[in-house]
Amino acid sequence: MFGLVVRFTCKDEASADAFDRLVADTIEAIRRDEPGTIVYAAHRVDGKPLQRIFYELYADRAAFDAHEATGHTKHFLAAREELLASIEVDRLELTSGKGTTP
């Protein structure tokens, strides 16, 4: 299993709204076209209206690589740039959990 936690900080409220719309469209394509993506969850951060956190779990590194190669992900990666002030990425190694197989 391969995972990520990504923290996005949007430039302003208008950018945050546009980012949320972009995310909604992207997640719909992920649901439809990515069997190796186990969890792809986008969260707002309580008390921090410009921040978003993604939690992503993939069956393995190959599933993540397949996700990165899709047209909808490439579109998301390009379109998000003008909306964001910063991005922080943590790659995760599963050690134990419920609903997962380490």
Whole-prediction pTM: 0.91
- Which pLDDT value is given to residue 102? 56
Number of domains in the chain: 1
Domain membership of residue 97 (yes or no) is no
Domain membership of residue 50 (yes or no) is yes
Q: Cβ(40)–Cβ(6) under 8 Å?
A: no
Domain of residue 56, residue span: 2-91
Condensed to tens digits (0 to 9), the pLDDT of residues 6-62 reads 999 999 999 999 999 999 999 999 999 999 999 999 999 999 999 999 999 999 999
Domain membership of residue 56 (yes or no) is yes
Domain membership of residue 98 (yes or no) is no
Domain membership of residue 28 (yes or no) is yes
CATH for 86: 3.30.70.100
Tell me the C-alpha distance between 53 and 8, whole Å. 6
Q: Cβ(4)–Cβ(54) under 8 Å?
A: yes
